[in-house]
Amino acid sequence: MTDDDAWGRDPQIRSMRTVFAAIERAQKEFLRTLGISPVDPRLRRFRDVALTLFERSWVAAMRRGVETGDDPAAEIYILCLARALSMRGIEIPPASLPGNEELKRLVDEVTA
């Protein structure tokens, strides 16, 4: 085995890794704010729903020309996770959500 990591040098792969890392950090903070343990067994279902909503929202954001770097991706994911949680009766304090109104509208439109 060699230390040659062709995937690790690919700019698109590196970009996606930073996006995923930003999403993980944002999710950890969001769950902490809500008082939900990161090992709560219900999270699997919530994350599955959030991922589906995120994929649709991410595509819509790219089509609309919305900047889709690390921070916007994390904000979109948190809005989608919040939607998944609220669909199952978990109250989401507005202060715990990202403040980007454009992304809120986008996620609302896509997930309606």
pLDDT in tens, 52-92: 999 999 999 999 998 878 899 999 999 999 999 999 999 99
Q: How far apart are alpha carbons 55 and 58 in whole angstroms?
A: 5
Structure confidence by residue, pLDDT tens digits, 26-55: 999 999 999 999 999 999 999 999 999 999
Residue 23: closest CA among 78, 104, 92, 83: 78
pLDDT on residue 4: 62
**Confidence band, pLDDT 50/70/90 cuts, at residue 3:** low
Residue 108 has pLDDT above 70, yes or no: yes
